[in-house]
């Protein structure tokens, strides 16, 4: 099986699909950092936790995942608690892990990597604004600005 990050086609999931063997699962896990195989009521699942500075950023990350995978045949189990988002991928139809679970886990990691870049960029912009407009020199707002004399 190929690296899930390099697969470009979407694999259709049907009831006839058989789960990956234990050996195949171990092989695919080598390509995914921080993902663990976990047993759920519906079968095995891939699960990972993502930590954020606050609840709002975690919620925004969940929205980014939803946007990225809106046309997927498989949807994740997502839980947001305080500043931690847990994402689990599983294929209940196959009662085990399927290649699509690994593809979607890799897609989730890509969303997180993109998210980290966006946040880093926002931090740089915020810092530049603070340096350009120190608290003592903040631009006037509303009616506080000096009016030109006529």
Q: Please give the domain boundaries of the chain with CATH numbers for all domains.
A: 22-124 (3.30.1360.20)
Cα→Cα distances 87→70, 109, 112, Å: 15, 10, 11
Strands (E), 17-137: 36-40, 43-51, 77-81, 84-89
Instruction: Band the pLDDT of 92: cuts 50, 70, 90.
Output: confident
Query: Across residues 53-67, what is the average pLDDT?
Result: 92
Question: Is the pLDDT reported for residue 137 higher than 70?
Answer: no
Higher local confidence (pLDDT), 107 or 16: 107
Query: Across residues 14-40, what is the average pLDDT?
Result: 83
Query: Across residues 103-116, what is the average pLDDT?
Result: 89
3-class DSSP state of 29 = helix
Find tokens 């085990």 and name the residue. 96
Which tens digit of pLDDT belongs to each residue from 2-18?
555 554 444 444 445 67
């Amino acid at each position: 099986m190929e690296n899930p990050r390099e697969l470009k086609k979407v694999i259709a999931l049907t009831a006839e699909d058989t789960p990956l063997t234990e050996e195949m699962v171990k092989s695919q896990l080598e390509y995914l950092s921080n993902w663990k195989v976990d047993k759920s009521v519906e079968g095995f699942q891939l699960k990972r936790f993502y930590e954020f500075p606050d609840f709002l950023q975690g919620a925004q990350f969940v929205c980014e995942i939803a946007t990225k995978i809106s046309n997927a045949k498989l949807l994740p189990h997502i839980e947001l608690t305080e500043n931690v988002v847990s994402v689990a991928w599983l294929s209940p139809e196959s009662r085990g892990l399927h290649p699509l679970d690994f593809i979607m886990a890799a897609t989730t990691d890509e969303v997180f990597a993109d998210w980290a870049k966006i946040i880093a960029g926002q931090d740089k912009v915020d810092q530049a604004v603070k340096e350009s407009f120190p608290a003592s020199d903040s631009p006037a707002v509303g009616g506080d600005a000096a009016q030109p004399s006529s």
